[in-house]
Chains A and B, each alone.
Chain A
């Protein structure tokens, strides 16, 4: 069901966790709130479910106004029909698995027979068909999170929220469960909000990702757009991009190239951006866009720096190098096997001007917020 968060602020005493945040979520869409701890992502989500009372704004789910500060509307969490999967699983230890999953139906006075059927279906869906009569305190972490998912699904929620549900699980299980969550959400056509600080999880799960910082959304985009065109250096940094440097951009030349000076010790970098910026900027070069050459390339190349391989690691599909060149520590990824470089080898690093991204510095953008 369609969710509309409009100009919501959340405040704890003097501490503002969320500042006038607006967000529209389409029916059936999965939006991931991504950001470092303290960015307000959890407060935003808890406001949607009704566990947090915002200090201003409105929240609408479908046609129902759930929260409206001005009109004194605040529908309690138990009447919002919003499901939530908690980071701590929140499985009640004094109940069996089936009792845990059946709890929302008991609260809704669903008849016993129907309730039993729906619980069985939900447990089947999460792969715990035979676990119904088990005590909930005897489950493993992964099983608990599956029970939590079944409990949220069984109530047929209008919106389903996930609060870092995978952060307490080990890496392999995390990936597996992540794909299952996405699968279930898409098959059921559920509207979902997912909170995480793991950018890989965010990109893999989301229809759209909202990158948050200091209580506002810095960028709201599809994973592809986000990765291709981060809005500023914070987003690029948080998405795990390396090779980010701060500098000053000169006015672009007629051919669209511009020179960016880092500092006295390092050479200028030539960039060619679609929409050039000037003044204080961040530049970002993706590791896979950098080329390594044993010999200096012959062609006249604006960005070629000689340097030394300081470390390297083989990752199966690719090899990752750390190169110290022209006063910069650069991450370089090559997909070609057999480059046969070793630690200490002399190399030349090259990058095309059009592969140098020029991004606004954090805090220099007039409006950091994404318009809703």
Chain B
């Protein structure tokens, strides 16, 4: 049990206090933005500072499936399906190769399944527009030079789906790799003993056991792609392709802004994501029979024979497309003093190389401010999120306080809120509240704390659930009160995971763009916003240089986290 134990009659009231206070905070942070969004979607006016006005109307919803909305919705669906299919194919193949074959350089193959996570999809989009824009795209220049009659155009639906496929493959990889490598090999050995060939073992035993992981990763990937904002915005705009998130952004930036319609689309998008989550929940509930025992098994390895190097080549080409080529392109773009390239030879013309773009970016006060802002926001999110998410997890899993079930529901609610929509809801919520937070970094901090609440909460929850309640109960029977047992037993046991979850929050915050799009002002830009602005303003070389610096910062933090805390858990959402 380990509830907060107190004797006497006063207990009833003191018990209401902790959850009551927490729920009040969560209501303002999570529920109010959702409420404001719904409110804006059914009225004809926008929330203004301190006042809620407007007449009730459902006309925005009737516009949802007409004209530009309909095509944005269709694009969202197409990109979601195509991107998911591609990323599943890539991730599944890599997982199989790394977990079950004797492919050369296994450790490298495994790493290549994860590394692209650290290239944010924003940077990926910037890089691929350098590589495969029609005409001057670097790959097109190379193709022309070697006589390949192909003209790549990344600003198309297949192009955008391709970029999604590349950068969301790691999610499928992680889930499927986990299922494949943790499966008890005796299950497959038993199939062999009872007469199944390798192929039939795979079909009747291995595949059915991995199926839940495959299905879960498909649903997860689809949800992430559907809500992604930077990729369709940066790559779709030149070709006039909108998805729902990018369309919301354009509506809000139109003159005058069509806020109510944007809100209605936001509600629609939220409903879609919510449905996906329901499907995912059901799948996970059925997943109980999985054979994952957490024991270190040595899974059965398939000998590839002469196919070894072919498989290796496929794995290597993925990491080339997802990481090496993009970074090389960004470097090329940012080092050139002269952007025009007439032929392949120009790539190697050292005379035009220089660090002008980097110095320009580093000396740009906008970039400097953004760097400082990103660090401040990241650290504050790490602190505030670490405390808030851990407190929530503790109350839900380690007390019997009334209202704790509600805390759990609210903790997971932001999962259903696409980041752009969350940003919109936050904007209006803090218009309404009599606290002048808009225009400060604090509103970004709060938005990020909410955005990453599901991840922060579940990572602390998982580690709390792994602590056997007997460990705390035995502290009680040994004479420790609730506070002492928390400080001497529970906290020391989860400290490592709280710290690693806080570091994950730092990395996620530094990467985040979408949740900030409606909340920043010229005083409170963060790094991702600055890169986005460079791209939007057409200064590609500067965007490339900033992307490289940005990736270096992210990489450094990830490395430090890994080095000092063994944190390998990759960030699981966000752009």
Which residues of A does B touch, CB under 8 Å?
46, 49-53, 72-84, 86-90, 92-94, 103-104, 107-108, 148, 151-152, 155, 161
Contact = CB atoms under 8 A, between A and B. Distances in A.
Nearest to A52: B1
Contacts of B482: 76
13 contacts: A49-B477, A51-B1, A76-B7, A76-B481, A77-B5, A79-B479, A81-B479, A90-B470, A103-B475, A107-B479, A108-B479, A151-B478, A155-B479
Nearest to B470: A90
B7 A77 contact: no
A72 B477 contact: no
Contacts of B7: 72-76
B473 A86 contact: yes
B469 to A, nearest CB: 9
Nearest to B485: A78
Contacts of A107: 478-480, 484
Given A90-B470, A92-B471, A77 B476 contact: yes
Contacts of A155: 478-479
B295 interface: no
B485 to A, nearest CB: 8
Contact of A51 (B471, B476, B481): B476
B474 A78 contact: no
A104 B478 contact: yes
A93 B492 CA distance: 10
Contacts of B2: 51
Contacts of B5: 50, 74, 76-78
Contacts of B476: 50-51, 76-78
A107 to B, nearest CB: 4
A75 B476 CA distance: 12
B484 A86 contact: no
Nearest to A99: B488
Interface string B230-252: 00000000000000000000000
A104 B479 contact: yes
A78 B489 contact: no
A261 B5 CA distance: 58
Contacts of B470: 86-90
A90 B8 contact: no
Contacts of B471: 90, 92
Nearest to A81: B479
Contacts of B492: 94
B474 A72 contact: no
A275 to B, nearest CB: 44
A51 B1 CA distance: 6
Nearest to A148: B474
A105 to B, nearest CB: 9
Interface residues of B, number: 26
Nearest to B478: A104
B567 to A, nearest CB: 19
Contacts of A90: 468, 470-471, 473-474
Contacts of A151: 474, 478
Contacts of B311: none
B89 interface: no
Contacts of A73: 7
Given A77-B5, A92-B493, 8 more contacts: A74-B7, A76-B5, A76-B7, A78-B475, A89-B470, A90-B474, A104-B479, A151-B478
Contacts of B477: 49-51, 77-78, 80, 82-84, 152, 161
Contacts of A46: 1
Contacts of B475: 78, 92, 103
Contacts of A75: 7
Contacts of A51: 1-2, 473, 476-477
Contacts of B1: 46, 51-53
A108 B6 CA distance: 19
A363 B334 CA distance: 86
Contacts of A72: 7-9
Interface centre among A82, A89, A92, A161, by most chain B C-beta atoms within 10 angstroms, is A92
Nearest to A101: B478
B7 to A, nearest CB: 6
Given A52-B1, A72-B9, A83-B477, A88 B489 contact: no
A270 B480 CA distance: 61
B489 A92 contact: yes
Interface in B105-139: none
A103 B8 contact: no
Nearest to B488: A103
A4 to B, nearest CB: 19
B202 to A, nearest CB: 36
Nearest to A154: B478
Given A86-B470, A86-B474, A88-B470, A93 B493 contact: yes
Contacts of A84: 473-474, 477
A68 to B, nearest CB: 11
Contacts of B488: 103
Given A86-B473, A90-B473, A107-B484, A78 B478 contact: yes
Nearest to B476: A77
Given A51-B473, A84-B473, A103-B475, A78 B481 contact: yes
Nearest to B6: A76
A53 B488 CA distance: 24
Nearest to B7: A74
A53 B7 CA distance: 12
Contacts of A148: 474
A76 B480 CA distance: 10
Interface centre among A78, A88, A93, by most chain B C-beta atoms within 10 angstroms, is A78
Interface in B1-34: 1-2, 5-9
Interface string B454-480: 000000000000001011011111111
Nearest to B484: A107
Contacts of A74: 5, 7
A161 B9 CA distance: 29
Contacts of A108: 479
Interface string B260-284: 0000000000000000000000000
Nearest to B489: A92
Contacts of A49: 477
B488 to A, nearest CB: 8
Nearest to A108: B479
A42 B484 CA distance: 25
Nearest to A46: B1
Nearest to A151: B478
Interface centre among A53, A80, A104, A107, by most chain B C-beta atoms within 10 angstroms, is A107
A74 B2 CA distance: 14
B486 to A, nearest CB: 12
A103 B478 contact: yes
Nearest to B479: A107
Contact of A78 (B468, B479, B493): B479
A74 to B, nearest CB: 6
B16 to A, nearest CB: 17
A121 to B, nearest CB: 17
Nearest to B4: A76
B566 to A, nearest CB: 16
A257 B404 CA distance: 65
A260 B479 CA distance: 57
A254 B279 CA distance: 74
A216 B473 CA distance: 25
B473 A77 contact: yes
A89 B481 CA distance: 20
Nearest 6 interchain pairs by C-beta: A107-B479, A90-B470, A104-B478, A77-B476, A76-B5, A90-B474
Contacts of B468: 88, 90
Contacts of A104: 478-479
A356 B1 CA distance: 47
A70 to B, nearest CB: 13
A1 B235 CA distance: 78
